[in-house]
Amino acid sequence: MVLIARKKEAKRRKKAKKSFSADFFRGRPFLYTAVAVIVVVAIVTAGWRVSTMTLPGSATAGTAQQASGTGIVSGDTVTVEYTGVLDNGEEFDSGDLEFEVGAGQMIEGFEEGVLGMQEGEEKTFTIPPEKAYGPKDPAKTQVVSLLRTINKTIEVTPDQFEQVIGEVPVEGETFSTETMTWPVKVLSVSSETVIIEYLVEEGDTMDYDYGFETAHIEGDVIEMTLTPTVGAEIMTLYGPLKIVSADEESMTIDFNQPLAGESLTFTVKVLNVSKPAAASSVSTVADGDVCPQLGLTKSARPNVELFIMSLCPYGLQMQKAFLPAMDLLGDYADFDVKWVSYIMHGKPEIDENNVQECIQREYPDKYTSYATCYTTTGETDNCVTLKGIDKTVIDACIADLDSEFGITSLYDDKSTWSGGRYPQYPVHAAENAQYGVQGSPTLVINGKVVRVNRSPEDVKQAVCCAFTNPPAECNQILSAVPASPGIGGGTGSDSSASCG
């Protein structure tokens, strides 16, 4: 990556807080502002392993080494060892993975490439762009101004002030918290309004993973100019983007999936083939008596575990379906949201995993309320504040997590990353291994991995199937409409797509 040189005046800069709080007390991080303007371009798939997108088409067969056994057909669960390279010979991914053929967990060219292979067989095949991640879409490349403006003096309500600051506003006093970008001075207070002024100085900067912004004061306006890091890849709430170029006034950002437009050549060895058993062949909840189809072990108090990546659009889709069932049945079953043991969406995903893990540990009664707020708005700090969660308690818990599992050390040491791309997140590594978790989302009920439609009603039905004596709440009907992928409200269509 090419880092654009900082100006000499940057020596004077003060490192600004990047924590999020209510909008009126922080300059919104640059790319959140820029991306919000152009999000209509696409909601793109996050991550770029071969199992993150499903597209129609077939693979171009290459060389193969035959072995004995029954050929792979749709419905088989297979474990493969694979290496993927681009046309220029660059290796972009490698590893082992398990998937169900025909379930839409893989790009279709990869699925079709393994059809007919036998256990122990090795084959090389090439998937053209239109059969992998599609061609590059010019509409997903946008030019964005490097300048944004913020009013230096703003008006809020007394309730909003107290919610963020935690104190009563007093005219003439200055307030600052760890979640605020700049200190603020209270200029006036009335029963309905508080007028405050950002105490920002000429040349102050805000640092990001993709560059830094410098403040210039023009009267009552703060002009923030971004100096971007060309080549930086950023995971936003709307999908991954890359800064591809920049000049003095603007930068070009690309929302295309990183492997869009590429032909992908895979060398695949089949390690194991499992034929579906009759009792476990049903992958979604259907109308009628679904319990025999799921084949769950019953218990007086079921154990329900959802494994996700907190920034995976499809993990968020299942989480939004999971939370109403958790809220309805949480007094009768043990619900837990857990984390896939590797990260595909950068440091922001580690941060959000940590927050949600610690809210479940420290404020379990507030978790569904927080998670509902977060999955709708994406506002971590604002949701923490709104739900009455003490940030200092969460920060202390996160420090303990880091000490116990070495999360930061694993992120900083790229030699530990899976395939050189994906940092480890080992908080629930033992359960990941126990259930063979391969991606986000993975739903486990009483020790069995199950697939259900991503609606609150379908999740509720599946959990109710695991009770020895279902509670009366199982008769309550939740929404049967699938949740939408990614951050935000609304509904979507059911999908078996995943990140992983």
Tell me which of 364 and 163 has the higher pLDDT: 364
Does any domain span residue 50? no
pLDDT score recorded for residue 199: 94
Query: Both 183 and 159 in a single domain?
Result: yes
Q: Tell me, yes or no, whether 284 lies in a domain.
A: yes
The count of domains in the chain is: 3
Q: What is the pLDDT of residues 455-494, one digit of tens each?
A: 999 999 999 999 999 999 999 999 988 888 888 877 777 6
Q: Would you mind telling me the total number of residues written for the chain in this entry?
A: 500
Look at residue 308 and tell me whether its pLDDT is greater than 70: yes
Distance in angstroms (rounded) separating the CA atoms of residues 86 and 465: 46
Is 53 among the domain residues?
Answer: no
**What is the three-class DSSP state of 253?**
strand
pLDDT of residue 10: 29
> Average pLDDT of 391-405?
95
| Residue at 497 is within a domain | no
Q: Which of 271, 296, 327 is the last residue of a domain?
A: 271
Pairing between β-strand 334-339 and β-strand 303-308 as defined by DSSP bridges = parallel
The conformation of residue 481, written as its DSSP 8-state character, comes to S
Tell me how crowded residue 287 is: count the other CB atoms within 10 A of its CB: 7
Look at the alpha carbons of 325, 330, 331, 334 in this order and tell me if their dihedral is positive or negative.
positive
* Phi, then psi, of 95 in degrees rounded to 5: 145, -165
**Per mean pLDDT, which range of 142-151, 236-245, 262-271, 443-452 is the poorest?**
236-245
How many CB atoms lie under 10 A from the CB of residue 85?
18
Which of 254, 286, 301 terminates a domain? The answer is 254
Cα pseudo-dihedral 397, 403, 407, 409, rounded to 10? 140
Residue 8 has pLDDT above 50, yes or no: no
Q: Is the pLDDT of residue 18 over 70?
A: no
What's the whole-number mean pLDDT along residues 21-48?
Answer: 42
| Token couple for 57 | 């088409």
Residue 462 pLDDT: 95
d(C-alpha 402, C-alpha 76), whole Å = 39
Task: Considering only residues 415 and 108, tell me which one the structure prediction assigns the higher pLDDT.
Answer: 415
Average pLDDT over residues 444-449: 95
Q: Are residues 407 and 420 in the same domain?
A: yes
Sign of the torsion formed by the C-alpha atoms of 444, 445, 451 and 457: negative
pLDDT in tens, 176-214: 887 677 899 999 999 999 999 999 999 999 888 889 999
pLDDT value at residue 60: 47
Q: Dump the DSSP string for 401-443.
A: HHHHH-HHHHHH-GGGSBTTTB-B-GGGHHHHHHHT--SB-EE
Q: How many of the other CB atoms lie within 10 Å of CB of 222?
A: 20
Q: What is the DSSP letter of 167?
A: S
Q: Is the pLDDT of residue 147 over 50?
A: yes
Clarify whether residues 151 and 245 are in a common domain: yes
Least confidently predicted of 141-150, 239-248, 392-401, 490-499 = 490-499
Closest by CA to 419, choosing from 96, 93, 89, is 93
In a domain, 147, yes or no: yes
What pLDDT is recorded for position 239? Answer: 61
Q: What is the pLDDT of residues 247-297, one digit of tens each?
A: 999 999 998 888 889 999 999 999 999 887 543 333 333 334 678 888 899
> Quick check: helix, strand or coil at residue 110?
helix
End-to-end Cα spacing for the chain? 25
pLDDT score recorded for residue 52: 36
Please give the biggest Cα pair distance in the chain. Answer: 82
Tens of pLDDT, residues 40-85: 333 333 333 344 333 333 344 455 555 545 689 988 889 999 999 9
The percent of residues above 90 in pLDDT, for the chain, comes to 57
Q: Is residue 400 in some structural domain?
A: yes
Q: State whether 132 and 143 are in the same domain.
A: no
Residues 265 and 363 grouped into a single domain = no
**What is the full DSSP assignment across 316-365?**
HHHHHHHHHHHHHHTTTSEEEEEE-SB-SSHHHHHHHHHHHHHHHHH-GG
Examine the domain organization and report whether 151 and 207 are in the same domain.
yes
Q: What are the residues whose beta carbons fall under 8 Å from the beta carbon of 412, sequence distance 6 or more?
A: none
pLDDT at 54: 31
Sign of the CA dihedral running 363, 369, 374, 375: positive
State yes or no: pLDDT of 37 exceeds 50: no
Domain containing residue 121: 60-137+259-271
207 and 114 part of one domain? no
246 and 383, same domain (yes or no):
no
Res. 359: pLDDT tops 90: yes
CATH of the domain at 318: 3.40.30.10
**What distance in Å separates the CA atoms of residue 321 and residue 481, rounded to the nearest whole number?**
9
Least confident of 32-41, 87-96, 156-165: 32-41
Co-location of 17 and 86 in the same domain: no
Spatial neighbors of 88 by CB under 8 A, at least 6 apart, are none
The three-state secondary structure class of 25 is: helix
Residues 25, 91, single domain; the answer is: no
Say how far apart CA 494 and CA 500 lie, in whole Å: 18
Inter-axis angle of helices 313-329 and 367-377, to 10 degrees?
150
Confidence of residue 311 (pLDDT cuts 50, 70, 90): very high
Tell me phi and psi for residue 41, to 5 degrees.
-60, -50
- What backbone phi and psi angles, to 5 degrees, belong to 432? -60, -45
* Residues 493/485, Cβ–Cβ less than 8 Å: no
Residue in 41, 50, 70 with CA at minimum distance from that of residue 276:
70
Predicted local confidence at residue 498, as pLDDT: 83
The domain that contains 263 carries what CATH number? 3.10.50.40
Examine the fold and report which residue of 209, 244, 271 is the final residue of a domain before the chain moves on: 271
**What is the model's pLDDT at position 246?**
95
Same domain, 441 and 332: yes
Q: What is the pLDDT of residues 329-356, one digit of tens each?
A: 999 999 999 999 999 988 999 999 999 9
Return the residue matching tokens 């939370």: 323
Q: Which of 431, 26, 60, 449 is nearest to 200 (CA)?
A: 26
E strands, 38-121, are 60-65, 77-85, 91-100
488: in domain: no
Q: Is 123 part of a structural domain of the chain?
A: yes
Going by C-beta distance under 8 Å and a sequence separation of 6 or more, which residues neighbour residue 436?
98, 449
Do 129 and 164 lie in one domain? The reply is no
Q: How many C-beta atoms surround the C-beta of residue 40 within 10 A?
A: 9
Mean pLDDT to the nearest integer, 103-113:
82
Which pLDDT score, from 0 to 100, does residue 203 have?
95
The per-residue pLDDT of the chain, averaged, comes to 82
At 438 the pLDDT is: 84
Q: Write down the pLDDT at residue 130.
A: 87
What is the predicted pLDDT for the residue at 165?
85
Q: What is the mean pLDDT of residues 355-365?
A: 96
